[in-house]
Amino acid sequence: MASSYNFKKITVVPTATELKDVVLSKTQRKTPTVVHKAYSIGRIRAFYSRKIKFLQQTLHDKLTQIITEFPKMEDVHPFYSDLMNILYDKDHYKIALGQMNTARHLVDGIAREYVRLMKYSDSLYRCKMLKRAALGRMVKLLRRQKSSFEYLEQVRQHLSRLPSIDPNTRTLILCGFPNVGKSSFINKVTRADVEVQPYAFTTKSLYVGHLDYKYLRWQVIDTPGILDHPLEQRNTIEMQAVTALAHLKAAVLFIMDVSEQCNQTIEEQISLFEAIRPLFTNKPVFVGLNKVDIMRRSDLPPEKNELLSKLESENIPVIEMSTVSQEGVIGLRDQACDALLAQRVETKLHSKKVAEDGVLNRVFVAYPQPRDEKVRAPFIPSAVVTKKNRMVIEVDDSMRDEKTRKLERDLEKELGDDYILDLKKHFLLKNPEEKYDVVPEIWEGHNIADFVDSEVMEKFRSLKEEEHRREEAGVYDSDEDSDDEEAKELLANAKLIEEKEKEFKMKHELIRGVGKPRQSRLIGRKRERTMDNMEKEFGALGVDVSQNDMKHFEEAQLKQPSTKKMRIGREPSVSAIGKPAPRDIQGVPDLETFDKAAKVGKKAQRPKNQDARKGEGDRHISVKRPKHLFCGKRGIGKADRR
């Protein structure tokens, strides 16, 4: 848990009555409320068990939130722990949180017990009574903890008003008798606005101000005045100051009134300083002599001046200052900040904390000490020296040793663009001429030479010659002659069919390429049904159809009265010139279909929704008053809820 606890984020603690109303209302709203007569007993048990479990879970969550959000004395910084002990009494605070924890466990136990009993209930009435008893017992537990809820809410309100003090940051603490000028000092050096009055105990709690020094953020704490009497006799206001002094790593500024207008003499103020001095252990301490605009230190009697000199002899700086004329205020602030910075840096250097680059602070480097004056030079074997010399590249190639070889980097510089990296030239092989072989001798553990046949091409050539001789001798002709006449005829017919298909495909491609307008099969056939075509077809079938035989048919056709209606547009027939019919008539079989198509076309060209009919895209609320919200109370015997 963070040492600087944010008390302002603690959720408001409700009273026992408020919490009871909240959880019961939530249980009623969030769980089903109607049991129908058709329900089986198992479903009724589950119905009421769900209500018990829901209330238990709601109470459990609420109490857990209260317990976890309040700070534990053991987890917060000792400064906050002691401050809370002074303000609220540590034992009382722990008892209140403990009662919350006990209530949470009891609620869980009650819920488990009644859910177990619910399994043995055999009627709706018994299930309902068990649920009622469980909810009543859990709510009664809350009423018994009424005082704890009220106490914790008061603690929360007071904690939220405490200043946000970071115990680990750079801090200056102001202390001293009441009315010596501590609040005036914090108002001068920070942006705080602490009340200043000419009477004692104006500051009743800790006040925090912030300032910037050397690009760092500092906090200045104004403590209530401390009276010079035993620790057990000090009140709550004074104990806050003692707590701040004891637990914060800070520089202490003990403010004294040199003019004695605070109704305390110099001797009494120094006596107080000596009384609380054990709290200043390992802290930089400074004494500020305030109100020098009224009386200077040089104007003090010798015996009082001697007491201040005694403090200086103990390495405690005594600095004159005045919060009215602001003389010495900034100097005292700067000295205190520098001393605290130096102490914090020294502490970090000697701490055992892990540094950013490892355990640097814990590493001790030992420097060897010579045991005598004898020189013991390092011994390097001659073979190592020789090998090292071989690696040295001489400037002149004529001075190069035979065994000394150039590095690839030097070759690249010499050759420039002509340089080619050759990784095989330094291979150490039994036969140096095998360095550049394409196929290695060993591949994946096998000797490739074992799998290579040097006479394979000769064998392949002999096989081809043998095959050629077999074909000339007619070894393979017997299979072809074995086919009978029927098979040959089938093959010939298949070839004719294939050629015919190719011919049809070519004709179809030619017809498509002409680009004539297409027409329906019905109209096309009507145009083909002419007298000439019929005579040709019947003649091909062997029927003699001459003009004399067809004479009576033509006469009957002329005598028949015309039943044709008035035509629209051109006649759907091919004209003598051969021009195609209009497109709106080409695909229409008769005039009725033509009329229908025209009507559909006109209708399609009209603007959409010309009749202003309501469609599914219309955003229109037809019912202005939904029945279930405005119908009022149900009458007697009515079951229509919606």
Q: Which of the pair, 245 or 264, is modelled with greater confidence?
A: 264
Instruction: Summarize the confidence of residues 282-303 as an average pLDDT.
Output: 84
Task: Judge whether residue 197 has pLDDT over 70.
Answer: no
Q: Which of 51, 42, 55, 52 is nearest to 121 (CA)?
A: 42
Higher pLDDT, 478 or 423: 423
**Is residue 208 domain-shared with residue 329, that is, in the same domain?**
yes
pLDDT of the residue at 346: 81
517-532, pLDDT tens digit by residue? 566 667 767 767 777 8
Least confident of 271-280, 298-307, 374-383, 576-585: 576-585
The verdict on 298 and 187 lying in the same domain is: yes
- Is 253 inside a domain boundary? yes
Do 142 and 279 belong to one domain? no
- pLDDT tens, position by position, 66-106: 888 888 877 777 777 777 777 777 788 888 889 999 999 99
Q: Is residue 35 part of a domain?
A: yes
Question: For the domain that residue 96 is a member of, what is the CATH number?
Answer: 1.20.120.1190
pLDDT in tens, 144-188: 988 999 888 888 887 777 767 777 788 888 888 888 888 888 888
Task: Looking at the structure, tell me whether residues 198 and 255 fall in a common domain.
Answer: yes
User: Which pairs from 128-136 meet CB under 8 Å and 24+ separation?
Assistant: 128/48, 130/48, 131/48, 131/51, 131/52, 134/52, 134/55, 134/110, 135/24, 135/27, 135/51, 135/52, 135/55
Residue 530 is predicted with a pLDDT of: 78
Same domain assignment for residues 194 and 341 = yes
Among candidate residues 298, 324, 352, the one where a domain is terminated: 352
Q: What share of the chain is helix, strand, coil (3-state, %, to 5)?
A: 50, 5, 40
Note whether residue 110 is domain-resident: yes
Q: Are residues 265 and 120 located together in one domain of the fold?
A: no
Of 276-290, 372-386, 405-419, 611-625, the poorest mean pLDDT is in 611-625
Are residue 118 and residue 209 in the same domain, yes or no?
A: no
Quickly count helices (H) and strands (E) in the chain.
Answer: 22, 8
Pairing of strands 285-290, 207-213: unpaired
**From 303-307, 487-491, 616-620, the region with the lowest mean pLDDT:** 616-620
Pairing verdict, β 318-320 and 216-222: unpaired
Residue 213: the pLDDT is: 87
Note the pLDDT of residue 113: 93
Confirm if 209 and 219 have CB atoms less than 8 A apart. yes
Bridging pattern class, strands 207-213 and 216-222: antiparallel
Determine which of 165-174, 179-188, 596-605, 624-633 has the lowest per-residue pLDDT on average: 624-633
Q: What proportion of the chain, given as a percentage, has pLDDT over 90?
A: 12
SS3 638: coil
> Same structural domain for residues 51 and 77?
yes
- The whole domain housing 71 covers 16-161
Q: CA–CA separation, 50 vs 56, rounded Å?
A: 10
Contact 187, 210 (CB under 8 A): no
Give the pLDDT band (50/70/90) at residue 137: very high
CA 345 to chain centre: 38
Domain boundary among 91, 126, 161: 161
CATH (domain of 196): 3.40.50.300
Domain annotation covers residue 274: yes
- Model confidence at 131: pLDDT above 80: yes
Note whether 335 and 221 are same-domain residues. Answer: yes
Residue 260 inside a domain? The answer is yes
Choose among 570, 590, 591, 592: nearest CA to 582: 570
User: Structural domain tally of the chain?
Assistant: 2
What integer is the mean pLDDT of 566-578?
50
Q: Are both 185 and 155 inside the same structural domain?
A: no
- State pLDDT tens for residues 398-442: 455 545 567 888 888 888 888 988 888 888 888 888 788 776 677
Q: What is the mean pLDDT of the chain?
A: 78
SS3 assignment, position 139: helix
Residues with Cβ within 8 Å of residue 459, at least 6 apart in sequence? 453
Tokens of 419: 């340089």
Let me know if residue 49 belongs to a domain.
Answer: yes
* 307, part of any domain: yes
- pLDDT recorded at residue 79: 74
The pLDDT value given to residue 479 = 54
Instruction: State phi, psi for 534 to the nearest 5 degrees.
Output: -65, -40
